[in-house]
Structure 1
């Protein structure tokens, strides 16, 4: 299995770079948009504002772009500190709980990112898969590897209070190639956007949203996750 073969357009390449920034550099929409725009605008504004035509309009564009870049750098510094603190807090919270029982869709929504990964791991185990959590860093797009009947699945786990966008699909596609897997899957604690669904179809990536997980809970009643087991597997 793999992505459907087709020619890449310039738009495809820009989009790929955009999602690379989001996945690999942990940029959000604002940071990725500002960087890509700056890479396009700055050379043009320098050329026409200071060398070729020395046009005042392009000079102003240059200074505006520099100001926006500076504000984005400040924003990035604040964001890094916030998410570093949040990550530490989420890990401490999960370790403190030790054992979590997930029974309903509301329980799924309450799980933080680490807890949700542990939950997905247990769901696949309950389905008869042999599972392995990837290292916390350098996971190459996969949070979980699951094997059943000699077929390998790479699974990207996404958590968000908003509908899930398509960055996880690109990550799963990358992981399928890196881990030489048969299937790529994205499992989310929410629903997927229409564009994410279309992208998944294009790249042959399976999507599992929160409602499908809810169906599993209704059938199996309860999933128990243990923080000690999770952090041992992710070591």
Structure 2
């Protein structure tokens, strides 16, 4: 009988402890109904590192004597976006995040100077000012306290306002004005009392060849030029 009373008291204390823990957990959750919003808006700021992936002609030195190699370098840029979200379900959202991005890429051409017949490194800086139109499907895991992990993926269409596509100047390396990407990323929603903060990392794969066909020696050695980029983004909703 004493043993049964001990078990009864133990289960009673355990039940009270679980109940208090559940109440405390609910009390500590910031904005617990936030994810029930059908439509929501916000903005984001971030840094981007956009590079160029070049594809040279096969047997380059044979097909184009004096053309040895191409290197690509990138500098950090910035981006600003407006976020509009449509709730599709408990774990799915559809995001449309138009914005602006600025970046500078540098191509270094290891070539033979046609006049001095000496090997040299020729640089071409490519400055881009993008209008971006990404559409993302976002999958969110279950919320744990004030945190919620998510994955996102989708297409992105860019217009380069600074493109030299139609410029007739042999000293300029040209890229096309319009470009299509496929983006994928990961992030975490952090819930505060009056807003939600979400750091995220997005990787962009350019799927359209951006090379402009012209009569310049620098462009002649390339089959294709594709964009790839890393975006470190901070959103506020």
Relative to the length of structure 2, the TM-score reads: 0.22
* Larger Rg, first or second structure (1 or 2): 2
Greater helix content: 1
Greater strand content: 2
